[in-house]
Amino acid sequence: MDGNGRWAQKKGLSRIEGHRKGTEAVINLLDTSLKLKIPFISLYAFSTENWRRPKIEITGLFNLLNEFITNELADMKKKGVKIMVSGDISKLPQKTKNLIIEAVDETKKQKNITANLCLNYGARDEIHRACETILSQKLEKISTLHIKKKIKISEKEFRNCLYTKNIPDVDLLIRTAGEKRLSNFLLYQCAYAEFYFTDVTWPDFNEEEFYNSIIDFQSRTRKYGGLA
Ligand code: FPP
């Protein structure tokens, strides 16, 4: 969701005002996704690298997230939004952690759309954690069964150790504000994602811009390494 800071700067506002406007864009995006029956949306809200930002911006971002959950949770439930989280939330402020746990629990039965909030998320961190988990599982098995053969890890076993174990791979990745990087986002899950780049800053990414990205996506031929 790039460009909140630039959007604010252009208008002579503080960066956090840009993030606030970005939160409104998130709500609108979810509404359009519901209308279009898009079943899964992942939002990169805070990366493992975003801790490098000034403390005032980090605090502001988590306060915004707190506000978002407090103000929107009832509506999310009404709309059928299931909230899930990817990332290590143990490092987040206690209030944010509690609100996230509550939001995940309160919406766990919702079925219209899954909103995957990526918080303190980094794909490398996710993959390293998956390796640690799978290694300990395998070592436990080896020591109890005295297996001496080569250790094999199936794709299914590995995927089950990722935060995204319950949701499918990315189909369309949208990157706003002219950035053209993956920035440590869902590296494993984006193996066959279609990329859409736009110069529009995130707060201005409205319904029409979203449709533009989907129309562009519909023109792609997806071959997954095979033939069309
Ligand atoms: C990147 O823009 C944006 C972020 C690091 C934060 C995104 C967070 C929100 C939109 C608010 C909370 C999220 C939810 C899911 C309610 P940037 O700050 O790098 O902008 P810039 O490149 O113009 O400086």
Residue 199 lies in a domain: yes
Length of the chain: 228
What are 152's two structure tokens? 């094999």
Q: What is the pLDDT of residues 45-100, one digit of tens each?
A: 999 999 999 999 999 999 999 999 999 999 999 999 999 999 999 999 999 999 99
Q: What is the pLDDT of residues 116-132, one digit of tens each?
A: 999 999 999 999 999 99
Going from the Cα of 143 to the center of ligand 1, the distance in angstroms, rounded, reads: 46
Whether residue 2 lies in the annotated active site: yes
CA distance 106 to 40: 18
Q: Name residue 17's amino acid.
A: E
CATH number of the domain residue 106 falls in: 3.40.1180.10
Residue 38 lies in a domain: yes
Question: What residue owns the CA closest to ligand 1's atom 10?
Answer: 22
- Tell whether ligand 1 has an atom less than 6 A from the beta carbon of residue 19: yes
Q: Name residue 194's amino acid.
A: E
Residue 15 lies in a domain: yes
Write out the H or E segment, with its range, that includes residue 65: helix 55-79
Residue (of 210, 167, 166) closest to 26 by Cα position: 210
Into how many domains does the chain fold? 1
What are 220's two structure tokens? 């792609």
Question: What are 46's strand-pairing partners?
Answer: 119
Predicted TM-score (pTM) of this structure: 0.95
The one-character DSSP state at 51 is G
Q: Domain range spanning residue 29?
A: 4-121+171-203
3-state helix, strand, coil in the chain (%, to 5): 50, 15, 35
CA distance 97 to 102: 9
pLDDT at position 177 is 98
Residue 187 lies in a domain: yes
CA distance 216 to 196: 8
